[in-house]
Amino acid sequence: MSHGYTILPAEREHLAALPRIELVAARLLAPYAPRHVLDETTDEETFRQAQRQGKLWIAAAGDGPIGFALVEMLADGHSHLEEMDVLPCRARRGVETALHAKVPECSRHSRHIETTLTTFRAPPWNMPFYLRARFEEIGPEEWSAEVKGVVAAEASRGLWNQGRCVMRYSHR
């Protein structure tokens, strides 16, 4: 337990709380993202599958989750931090850093080489957090085919023209 929370693999009983965390955390991005995206939540089956595969971690405090990290494997050795959300009332107290530290554990059967993510540049807390965590911004010439697919999916939802970037963390 650290600062009143614990980081642990998500259990099935945690999943119902995660959409609410997504929606509350998304409010902080209102100036930066289209409204329809801010109202979206991850579908239950995606959470369920990630939980079964050990690719979903939660920050728990009191009686339930206060944040989560959802990871997908894009290729052998290449994880992608699909989403990380923390309730704003619990943010900036190390929860995000502790969740991020669990990402390599999501790739048990892989030679974990790198993690990518897409994020907004503009929010003053967002990109700087990942830069402090030793992520670096990478340009399109460095995107793998899988990352290009992630970017295309975001663009189809209206996100990519909203000041997004791709970042990479090397585990070497």
Rounded to whole angstroms, the Cα distance separating 134 from 167 reads 10
DSSP collapsed to 3 states, 62-91: CCEEEEEEEEEEEECCEEEEEEEEECHHHC
* Mean pLDDT, rounded, of the chain: 87
How much is the pLDDT for 102? 75
pLDDT band at 1 (very low <50, low <70, confident <90, very high): very low
DSSP collapsed to 3 states, 98-163: HHHCCHHHHHCCCCCCEEEEEEECCCCCHHHHHHHCCCEEECHHHCCHHHHHHHHHHHHCCCHHHC
How much is the pLDDT for 108? 52
For the segment 92-102, the average pLDDT, to the nearest whole number, is 77
pLDDT in tens, 136-160: 999 999 999 999 999 999 999 888 7
Rounded to whole angstroms, the Cα distance separating 62 from 28 reads 23
Phi/psi at 101 (5° precision): -65, -20
Tokens of 118: 């897409």
pLDDT in tens, 24-81: 999 999 989 889 989 999 999 999 999 999 899 999 998 799 999 999 988 877 889 9
